[in-house]
Amino acid sequence: MRGFIIYGFGFGLIVLLTFGWFQTTKIKTDVETRFPATGQFVDIDNHRVHFFDAGDNAASKKTIVLLHGATSNLMDMASSIGLPLSKDFRVIAIDRPGHGWSSRNGAEDAKLSSQAKIVYQTLEKLGIKEATIIGHSWAGALTLKLALDYPKFTHSIVLISPVTHTWPGGIAWYHSLVTAPLFGDFFTKEVAINAARFLMPKAIEAVFSPSEVSKNYMEKTGVELILRPKEFEANSQDLQILYKQVEAQAPLYKFLILPTLVITGDTDSVVSPEIHARTTVKEMQNAKLVVLNGAGHVPQHSRTSEVVREIKTFMDSH
């Protein structure tokens, strides 16, 4: 009888794990079919970088580069502020390494320095001499890293709801399990992906709060691409080392003199405006702060016209 119970438990566990693996595979196939690569590719230093290029690329036009935050891809920025900005500027949105349709060469690519180098080399290969870099959330730190490491190339920067400094509380507990040796791959495929798919609508509501979620947000942004195991792992790697990365670079912000616009919502419950946006503006020499009353973490979606207007005014004056 005991052997039968053990056998039954083992068989049930195998069935459960097989079902989890099957569901994850099905999700990956589904989202890749629904959200195929729609941009162009360039090969950079053993990386394949996916990018979206819109607007007039005449030499007389200023270039804007859009960098997306965590748990997203270039469609997040391109579909919100990218298209309206492309009426007046050349706009290039880039899938960061391991996100969307850009490749990734392991955990080393989670470093801000590595991603900044890939972005710079991509734009250099496209013949761009200088640009205004716009980064949202996680990419706020990346945008500042580009300004620090490539000052001649980075003409000016715009930070939207940026992560710039260390913060209390750390990150969600599951990221350490996703990136754990040996166990991480199992946890991601059997548990995390299926849980994330179920919880995604509530998570989206949280980043928009107190605003309503934009119509067709999931379809326009392809956010479900994050439900692929490799991208899910890349996202967790990015978040896990971000704290130490901003801790190292924050003391250098005071030396930046390039024109800077910082846009934040005063009700952002994801990234504290006080800890990040306001502190950054105080520390930098040439930064302007715009606070959108009643806006949450994704003003590029919830307050698109206001964000675009602020960026255009900033670009016209610099």
Residues 6+ positions from 317 with CB-CB distance below 8 Å: none
pLDDT band at 86 (very low <50, low <70, confident <90, very high): very high
What is the rounded distance in angstroms from the CA atom of residue 237 to the CA atom of residue 16?
27
Q: What is the pTM of this model?
A: 0.93
For residue range 46-69, list pLDDT tens digits in order: 999 999 999 877 666 899 999 999
Counting residues of the chain whose pLDDT is more than 70, the rounded percentage is: 92
SS3 45: coil
Provide the mean pLDDT of the chain: 93
Residues 6+ apart with CB under 8 A from 51: 39, 40, 41, 42, 74, 92, 93, 94, 95, 122
Highest mean pLDDT: which of 2-16, 29-43, 172-186? Answer: 29-43
Q: Smallest Cα–Cα separation from 55: which of 66, 63, 44, 46? A: 63
Residue 70 has a CB neighbour count (10 Å cut-off) of: 20
pLDDT in tens, 103-154: 999 999 999 999 999 999 999 999 999 999 999 999 999 999 999 999 999 9
Output the CA torsion sign for 176, 225, 126, 55.
Answer: negative
> What local confidence, expressed as pLDDT, does residue 20 receive?
58
**Mean pLDDT over residues 160-165, rounded?**
98
pLDDT of 97 strictly over 90:
yes
Rounded mean pLDDT, 78-107: 97
Strands 47-54 and 154-160, how do they pair?
Answer: unpaired
Q: Does domain 32-317 have CATH number 3.40.50.1820?
A: yes
| Region of poorest pLDDT, from 8-12, 58-62, 173-177, 275-279 | 8-12
| Residue 316 tokens, joined | 């016209």
Residue 218: which residues within 8 A CB-CB, separation 6 or more?
200, 204, 224
- Extents of the domains making up the chain: 32-317
- Considering the chain, what percentage of its residues have pLDDT values greater than 90? 89
Type and span of the H or E element at 182:
none
pLDDT at 56: 77
178 Cβ contact partners less than 8 Å away, ≥ 6 residues apart:
184, 187, 188, 192, 232, 233, 236
Dihedral sign from CA coordinates of 58, 61, 62, 68? negative
- Whole-angstrom CA distances from 46 to 67, 126, 127, 138, 273 are 20, 17, 19, 24, 37
Asked if the model's pLDDT at residue 10 lies above 80, the reply is: no
CA distance 264 to 291: 5
**For the ranges 135-149, 156-170, 174-188, which has the lowest average pLDDT?**
174-188
Rounded to an integer, the average pLDDT of 230-244 is 97
pLDDT in tens, 11-23: 333 334 455 567 8
pLDDT for residue 60:
67
Q: Is the pLDDT of residue 72 over 90?
A: yes
